[in-house]
């Protein structure tokens, strides 16, 4: 089953039906209805019911329907979130504060049982692991390879800073090791990599775009969002431009003709090109295709 494109993933509190409906009408790649930290403890049950009925009633168009559970380590809270929402068949679950492979495997096992019980395709409901604690970063390798239904790793800078006693800054150097480690492990295990949300909802859009571009340059394939205003800008950053696509195609064509003539390395627009640049051009075309652009 091919993994769906996730350039922008818009969060909203699961108990806010109005925000769910607003997001569903936006054409965002993924919608994450939250049961964790965006929902007050005394509203968890209302949020579970609201998500269940939204999954049944709202037309989400082309948007993927995801639910964020409470951390697996909290036991009953997480299990109750799952039990209350699975019958409505979300496309996937987002697991926060993942620290061990077992956190992923536990929900994987619940899903396998549910898929058998409902007669759904096995492995069809996806999982995304949010890595946002020091222990999660240290255990990235086992987390990234925990289960075949795991489709993406996401980085959470705010929780990580809280966990580590670090101070969040605009430049984000305090989280740089983790941000690099998440994308590197995702790529090593064939997963999507999703960058941390940009929480300054009132900031100038250029700051959001710069942060998203840095993530894209690092190899991230998408970014978590918390406000509708962020969605278009972020989706654009993770969609190759016509000029970039044209350049990639010309580079690959040049490479092919040089290969046919028996040359492995050549210059293109004044710079040396060999296999790594060809692979980068191919991966840009892959991103374009995933975004529905014919290349
Ligand atoms: N999804 C869908 N719609 C949203 C939204 C979201 N995440 N955030 C805001 N909106 C809607 C508002 O309902 C409002 O709609 P309206 O114009 O039809 O009334 C419109 O967008 C403008 O919202 P605004 O007034 O700028 O924001 P706010 O002050 O109402 O809310 C937040 C600010 C941060 C509380 C809100 O953006 C939010 O809930 N974000 C998600 C938080 C979350 O899920 N956190 C957990 C994961 S990190
Ligand atoms: Mg969090």
Closest-lying ligand 1 atom to the alpha carbon of residue 20: 2
Tell me the pTM: 0.96
Question: Rounded mean pLDDT of 177-183?
Answer: 98
Rounded distance from Cα 39 to ligand 1 centre (Å): 13
Residue whose CA lies nearest to ligand 1 atom number 14: 19
Q: CATH 3.20.20.60 in the chain: give the residue spans.
A: 8-237
Share of the chain above pLDDT 90, in %: 96
> In degrees, to the nearest 5, what angle opens at C-alpha 51 toward C-alphas 57 and 55?
35
pLDDT tens digits, residue range 186-208? Answer: 999 999 999 999 999 999 999 99
Which ligand has the minimum distance to the alpha carbon of residue 39? 1
In the chain, the DSSP E strands lie at 8-13, 30-34, 64-68, 92-95, 126-131, 150-155, 192-195, 222-225, 266-268, 271-273
Confidence of residue 1 (pLDDT cuts 50, 70, 90): very low
Pocket of ligand 1 contains residue 228 by CB under 6 Å: yes
Residue whose CA lies nearest to ligand 1 atom number 25: 227
Confidence of residue 170 (pLDDT cuts 50, 70, 90): confident
CA dist 176 and 254 (Å) reads 36
Rounded distance from Cα 229 to ligand 1 centre (Å): 9
Residue whose CA lies nearest to ligand 1 atom number 21: 228
- Tokens representing 293? 């652009």
Mean pLDDT of the chain: 96
What CATH architecture does domain 8-237 belong to?
Alpha-Beta Barrel (3.20)
pLDDT of residue 2: 56
Pocket of ligand 1 contains residue 10 by CB under 6 Å: yes
Rounded distance from Cα 56 to ligand 1 centre (Å): 22
Rounded distance from Cα 14 to ligand 1 centre (Å): 12
CA dist 51 and 35 (Å) reads 9
What H or E segment, with its residue span, contains residue 258? helix 242-260
Closest-lying ligand 1 atom to the alpha carbon of residue 201: 34
């Amino acid at each position: 089953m091919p993994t769906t494109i996730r350039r922008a993933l818009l969060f909203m509190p699961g108990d806010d039906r109005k925000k769910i409906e607003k997001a569903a009408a936006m054409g965002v790649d993924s919608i994450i209805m939250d049961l964790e930290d965006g929902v007050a403890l005394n509203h968890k049950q209302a949020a579970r019911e609201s998500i269940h009925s939204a999954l049944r009633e709202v037309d989400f168009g082309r948007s993927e329907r995801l639910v964020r559970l409470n951390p697996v380590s909290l036991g009953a809270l997480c299990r109750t979130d799952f039990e209350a929402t699975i019958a409505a068949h979300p496309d996937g679950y987002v697991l926060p504060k993942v620290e061990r492979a077992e956190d992923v495997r536990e929900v994987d096992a619940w899903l396998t049982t549910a898929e058998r019980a409902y007669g759904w395709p096995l492995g069809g409901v996806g999982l995304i692991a949010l890595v946002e604690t020091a222990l999660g970063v240290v255990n990235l390798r086992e987390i990234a390879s925990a289960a075949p239904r795991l489709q993406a790793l996401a980085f959470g800078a705010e929780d990580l800073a809280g966990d580590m006693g670090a101070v969040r800054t605009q430049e984000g150097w305090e989280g740089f090791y983790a941000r690099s480690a998440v994308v590197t492990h995702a790529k090593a295990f064939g997963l999507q990599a999703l960058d941390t949300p940009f929480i300054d909802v009132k900031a100038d859009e250029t700051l959001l775009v710069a942060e998203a571009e840095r993530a894209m340059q690092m190899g991230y394939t998408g970014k978590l969002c918390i406000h509708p205003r962020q969605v278009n800008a972020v989706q654009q950053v993770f969609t190759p431009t016509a000029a970039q696509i044209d350049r990639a195609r010309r580079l690959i064509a040049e490479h092919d003709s040089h290969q046919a003539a028996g040359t492995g390395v050549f210059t293109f627009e004044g710079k040396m090109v060999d296999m790594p640049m060809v692979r980068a051009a191919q991966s840009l075309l892959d991103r374009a295709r995933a975004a529905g652009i014919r290349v």
